[in-house]
Amino acid sequence: MSQPTEPDDDSAPLNLASVATIDYSSEDPAHPVEHLVDEHTGPGGSYWAAAQADTTEQLVLEFDRPQSIGRLVYEVQEMERERTQEVHVEASTDAGRSYHRVVVQEYTFSPGGATLEHEDLRLELHDLTHLRLTIVPNKRGSGVASLTSLRVFA
């Protein structure tokens, strides 16, 4: 993104490490989930990756107290492979008993062209207990589920 997209009204993202617990279905020890929420974003940034290829993975933010979300930003970098990764975002307001769909995004990576996905989603979610991301790394092609960054704004 070449244009500044920061809104005037809301400033810093939530410090997810302090307001939520992050559960995950899989983690490559070399690319742990902490890399999702560190300051190393954008091209070449540290990233979370699943431990194995071609499996659908889940990341769940469990908030310490009901949370409103007005914006969600995430990035994915894939330099090596041509593949389509799909990310389902779902929210729960009842302690994870049920989820409703918020958005589904897919992005096709190509080593010679598109290698960095940057999503910046405006949302209007209230009283969330959980936010769940389901990542399908191989909707087309083959590869490992990964995310470079995940930032949530109130």
Report the distance separating Cα 95 and Cα 105, nearest Å. 24
Residue 83 as a binder of Ca ion (CB under 5 A): the answer is no
How far is the C-alpha of 109 from the C-alpha of 122, rounded, in Å?
23
Provide the mask over 34-73, with x wherever binding to Ca ion is found by CB under 5 A and - wherever it is not: -x--x-x----xx---------------------------
Min dist. Cβ of residue 74 to Ca ion (A): 10
Size of the residue set binding Ca ion (CB under 5 A): 6
DSSP 31: B
Q: Between residue 132 and residue 151, which ones bind Ca ion under the rule CB under 5 A?
A: 149
The answer to whether the CB of 144 falls within 8 A of the CB of 50 is yes
- Which residue number has the CB closest to Ca ion? 46
Both structure tokens of 77: 């970098």
Q: Which residues contact 66 (CB under 8 A, 6 or more apart)?
A: 93, 126, 127, 128, 129
Token pair of 49, please? Answer: 């990756």
Nearer to Ca ion, 13 or 93 (CB): 13
Nearest CB to Ca ion, comparing residues 19 and 73: 73
Query: Rounded to the nearest whole angstrom, what is the least distance from the CB of residue 118 to Ca ion in the complex?
Result: 13
| Contact footprint for Ca ion (CB under 5 A) | 35, 38, 40, 45-46, 149
